[in-house]
Structure 1
Amino acid sequence: MVPTPAGGGYDVTARTVAIALEDAGLAEEVEVFNLTGSAGTTGLSRLVHESGNTRLIMQMGLGLVGSALADRAPHPIADATPLARLLEEPEAVVVPHDSPYRTFDQLAKAWRERSGLRAGVGSHPGGPDHQALMLIAETLGVSPADTPFSRYDGGGKLLAALLSHKIDFALTGSAEYRHAIAAGQLRVLAVTGPQRVAGINAPTLREHGHDLEVVNWRGLMAPPGISQRERAELIALLDRLHTTPQWRRALRDNGWTDAYLSGDAFSRFLTAENKRVAALLHRLGLTGPTTR
């Protein structure tokens, strides 16, 4: 199950997992379906209500952690069963090919001067693009409240807004627009990960002297109510997938970074991420002082 619209990062990841499982001979006829609504939390509620169903897993990631907190979802992430983190992907600061901003430093100068820059993100408030935008603003000494932005559902709408100059720049996943970047439609001014991204000629924020890293991630969860044995079997399936050439090729072809983490280690990571994102969203005024 994909809790977000077709064509987005979760959808692409889920369908890639399904194809890799089938091609590697680990599963047959894996069905992928989208259940959208409330920035992914509708799908989370469905997952929780499917208690004990070992034939359903849900694509999720940093964005769903943020939306569950920002929207005060009826079911927190902790109600589901963590399986594995699959991959990481840094954010990218992108501009149209004919933008007057040729470097991140030029953009940062205009940002600090409150020059009316129009930013765009492809995620909901609390999602990875929005988190990256607000954290960069803070790093530049600009209050997040002084950084207006427009939100676009789906990568296609955000790309159209960039190319039509409705916005000046955007925060997006570094792999989201690889084809548009390669075609010369967009330029990447900086990436937010710890190192440069292969195939993208852009420096990191640290290379510009900014002590900040923002990395998106995606993983899989199962419903609550499954037994320890059933959970172990699902994790073992994903462990095997991670070692296959089909999955390694999928990572390479999509520009994703292998960040595999399964079982209890992923559970601990997810708990820490929930606390980190809750504190960030509270600081941004998107949640109250307490979270579940």
Structure 2
Amino acid sequence: MKRLAAVALLLASMPAWAADYAILAPAAPGGGWDQTARTMQNLLQKEGISGNVQVTNVPGAGGTIGLAQFVNQSKGNPEDLIVGGYVMVGAILTNHSPVDLSMVTPIARLTGEQEAIVVPASSDIKTMADLIAKLKADPGSVAWGGGSAGGTDHILAGLIAKAVGVDPTKVNYIAYSGGGEALAAILGNQVTVGISGYGEFESQIEAGTLRLLALSGDVREPGTDAPTLKEAGVDVSLENWRMVAAAPGITDEEKAAITADIEKLTKSDAWKAELANRGWDDRFLAGAEFEAQLKADIEATREILTQIGLVQ
């Protein structure tokens, strides 16, 4: 009996694993959502928050294909998570998706990131002023390469055009399903200019294969000499953000447990180190505050997309 009691005491003193998690990244490998999901996978396990975390990629239509699969297959399952963000908000609107973010359980906003406007190093476009001049002369001649139609990259291209007096509906935007595909198109000179999160282009910028023309945030990226759009004379400021959500139909207790796991992750030194390494800004927001902010962002995005002609 003493031996059984000792074993029971030992088991009771050991940390209980949180639920194993399956994270759906609704985009192709290589992009921001995939990077977010795999960073979460690594650190949830490394920090002992979860014993086993799997990541699945379901690309297409700005994340709405993955979102539909998640909503239809994960209902009531507290082990299933999905990453998403600003891109998905726009894609839901432009694709007239029958599935939207009201059908999942928002957990937390995780990160924010400036958008980078880049050209191949061999391009004759040297500055943002050069790009604007080319855009004004012939909007259709400037092919913009980025993520999904209606996403942050597309919105930024439209806002830049509008800010410099070009009809945003004339923007020649070419959408790619993942950051890897967009990068290949930019490096292969298939498009004139590329837009994506700074972290997705950082290594190519540092290697000298891409030229950074400007950043979309309010401050310059440390270690670069590229201006913000406002500094370059374009009155636009925009930040991409990423979030994690749980399945529909989970209990309040399950939601609280997931939120606690994610908050523990985001407070870890390992997470903070990843943010610094990837150029992501800490934008953690959870609970009712995040849900209210998400609703506000959805309405603001609808207004922006309507103004630039992507939503009627």
Normalised to the residue count of structure 2, the TM-score between the two structures is 0.88
Separation of aligned partners in 2, 1:194 and 1:157: 28
The answer to whether structure 1 residue 201 and structure 2 residue 225 are counterparts is yes
* In the alignment, structure 1 residue 262 sits paired with structure 2 residue 290: no
Which of 80, 86, 107 is matched with 1:83 structurally? 107
What SS does structure 2 have at the residue aligned with 1:259?
Answer: strand
CA distance in 1, matches of 2:183, 2:99: 32
Q: Which consecutive unaligned segments of at least 5 residues does structure 2 have?
A: 1-23
The structure whose RCO (Cα within 8 Å, separation 6+) is larger is: 1
1:121, distance to aligned residue in structure 2 (A)? 2.5
8 Å Cα contact 2:62/2:149 also seen in 1? no
Q: Match for residue 45 of structure 2?
A: 22
Matched position secondary structure for 1:208: coil
Which letter does structure 2 place at the counterpart of 1:133? A
* Counterpart position of 1:43: 66
* Percent identical residues: 36
| 1:12 aligns with one of 28, 32, 35 | 35
Once the two structures are superposed, the pairs formed by residues 1-292 of structure 1 within 5 Å of their partners are 1-49=24-72, 50-114=74-138, 117-288=141-312
How far, CA to CA, are the matches of 2:140 and 2:78 in structure 1?
Answer: 51
Q: 1:285/1:115 Cα in 2 relative to 1: closer, same or farther (>3 Å)?
A: closer
Answer yes or no: is the 8 Å Cα contact 1:120–1:152 preserved in 2.
Answer: no
Deviations 1:250-283 (A, max 9, x none): 1111111111111111111110111111122222
Give runs of ≥4 in structure 1 deviating > 4 Å: none
Rg larger in structure: 2
Unaligned runs of 5+ in 1: none
For the residues of structure 1 that align with 2:240 and 2:185, how far apart are their CA atoms?
A: 22
Looking at structure 1, the residues matched to 240 and 42 of structure 2 have their Cα atoms a distance apart, in angstroms, of 22
Deviations 1:119-145 (A, max 9, x none): 222211111110110011101110012
TM-superposed CA distance for 1:247, in Å, is 0.3
Q: CA shift at 1:150, angstroms?
A: 2.0
Counterpart AA for 2:32: G
- Which 10-residue stretch deviates more, 27-36 or 54-63? 27-36
What whole-Å deviation, never above 9, does each CA across 1:217-252 have from its counterpart, x for those lacking one? 101011121122211111111111111011011111
Q: Classify 1:74/1:223 alpha carbon distance in 2 versus 1 (closer, same or farther; 3 Å).
A: same
1:154 alignment partner AA: G
Deviations 1:37-60 (A, max 9, x none): 433112212222222110101011
Partners of 2:38 and 2:184 lie apart in 1 by: 24
Matched residue SS, 1:175: helix
CA distance in 1, matches of 2:189, 2:59: 29
**Alpha carbons 1:47, 1:222 under 8 Å: kept:** no
| Equivalent residues of 2:29, 2:180 under 8 A apart | no
2:15 aligned partner = none
What's the Cα RMSD here? 1.5
The alignment partner of 1:216 has SS state of: strand
- Shift in Å, 1:115: 6.4
**Corresponding letter in the other structure for 1:15:** R
- Alpha-carbon deviation of 1:200? 2.9
Compared CA separation, residues 141 and 117, structure 1 to 2 (3 A): same
Name the SS for the 1:177 alignment partner: helix
TM-score by length of 1: 0.93
1:152 aligned partner, one-letter code:
Y
Q: 1:24-47: per-residue Cα shift (whole Å, max 9, x none)?
A: 111111111112343311221222
